[in-house]
A and B are shown apart, each in its own frame.
Chain A
């Protein structure tokens, strides 16, 4: 199924597919924004600031998801020496980094009216900030180390270490007392979000996943081309 990710296959991936994904993203975004900004009701205590959640939650998920994929790709890269895994991971890094920043900033905008403070150093917020730092470290390793083999090794090790931060972020709200509330959507029990708010959240989630996919495909294609050009030199 994932055969199209092989370096030779990705180059023949037509722009038509990417363009169709962009159209799908725009449609989902229009419906999602209309639903989350206009059609959905304000919350019974938070009022209209609940609408920040529709961008905050999907961004946080994508920030964690991208790093999870980078970490797994790095394991395959180091253990089985599958070269294109590092190109895959490299293309995901800036996407995840941007989403982690969006998650932190929108969280601050929500925290001020809800908690009464922009930022606190509780377990959830701190571990999310550490994830952001891991992204920065990962991206800079590629930028600073010019030798491909060395950069590949160093960045993979950083990604594998950063992988341990993910369960800490996920379960921080259950393991310790935090100011951040526990998850509203879990696999084991019914969501504690009313369905009128769950629908816009799911649509916005799909919109941002498609967006991340589009940017990833474009970046990955460029990384493969760059890699092949360097090889020829």
Chain B
């Protein structure tokens, strides 16, 4: 059934596919720092040479009881449950910003433990529930 012509085309296609996969892999690998939307506190901690001038994004969970408001300036702690970074921010917070919820902050590092943000985004997780269910879950925990 497979004529010689079809076989050559299949071989050509296989080589073509392998080449494209290799190209895409190399491009994504070399652009990794740009493909990653934000760094976790641990990734910042492990990074050897980090620029304090460049704008970066960090993300993780907002630590419980860490949000402190002083006029318009908010400070809170972003944690990935291993390492923590203190974030200070002056501006409007998104509605879904809350303790124990995901957050992404854009701005500059002052040092490895202190971050000055000029934009805060709330990150939503993959859980979708009606509020009655969350209440029931909390009640069963207590």
Same complex origin of A and B:
yes
B36-58 vs A, Cβ < 8 Å mask (1 yes, 0 no): 11111000000000000000000
Are A164 and B20 CB-contacts (below 8 A) given A43-B129, A115-B123, A177-B37? Answer: yes
Q: How far is the CA of A114 from the CA of B122 in the complex (A)?
A: 7
Are A75 and B128 CB-contacts (below 8 A) given A161-B20, A181-B123? Answer: no
Q: How far is the CA of A2 from the CA of B134 in the complex (A)?
A: 46
Residue of B nearest to A194 (CB): B129
Q: How far is the CA of A214 from the CA of B102 in the complex (A)?
A: 41
Residue of B nearest to A79 (CB): B9
Residues on A with C-beta less than 8 A from B130 are 41-44, 194, 196-197
Counting CB contacts under 8 A, is B127 at the interface? yes
Counting CB contacts under 8 A, is B15 at the interface? no
Please determine whether A80 and B59 come into contact, CB atoms closer than 8 angstroms: no
Please determine whether B127 and A192 come into contact, CB atoms closer than 8 angstroms: yes
Please determine whether A45 and B124 come into contact, CB atoms closer than 8 angstroms: yes
Q: Which residues of B101-142 have CB atoms within 8 Å of chain A's CB atoms? A: 101, 104, 119-134
The residue that A194 contacts in the complex, of B97, B123, B124, B128, with Cβ under 8 A, is B128
Contact-size category for A? 35 or more
Residues on B with C-beta less than 8 A from A184 are 126-128
The residue that A113 contacts in the complex, of B36, B95, B128, with Cβ under 8 A, is B95
Contact-size category for B? 35 or more
The residue that B96 contacts in the complex, of A46, A160, A197, with Cβ under 8 A, is A46
Which of A8-16, A86-94, A116-124, A222-230 binds B?
A116-124
Minimum CB–CB distance from B25 to chain A (whole Å) comes to 10
Q: How far is the CA of A183 from the CA of B124 in the complex (A)?
A: 12
Counting CB contacts under 8 A, is B10 at the interface? yes
Residues on B with C-beta less than 8 A from A122 are 37
Please determine whether B35 and A78 come into contact, CB atoms closer than 8 angstroms: no
Minimum CB–CB distance from A167 to chain B (whole Å) comes to 10
Nearest 8 CB-CB pairings of A with B: A116-B94, A41-B130, A122-B37, A44-B131, A193-B128, A44-B134, A184-B126, A194-B129
24 A–B contacts, CB within 8 A, in A order: A42-B130, A43-B128, A46-B124, A115-B123, A116-B94, A116-B95, A116-B97, A117-B121, A121-B37, A122-B37, A123-B36, A123-B37, A161-B20, A164-B24, A176-B35, A177-B38, A179-B38, A179-B121, A179-B123, A181-B125, A184-B126, A192-B126, A193-B127, A194-B133
New A-B pairs, 20, CB < 8 Å, besides A116-B95, A184-B128: A41-B130, A43-B128, A79-B9, A79-B13, A80-B6, A113-B95, A113-B96, A114-B96, A115-B124, A116-B94, A123-B35, A160-B17, A161-B20, A164-B24, A176-B35, A177-B40, A177-B59, A179-B121, A181-B124, A181-B125
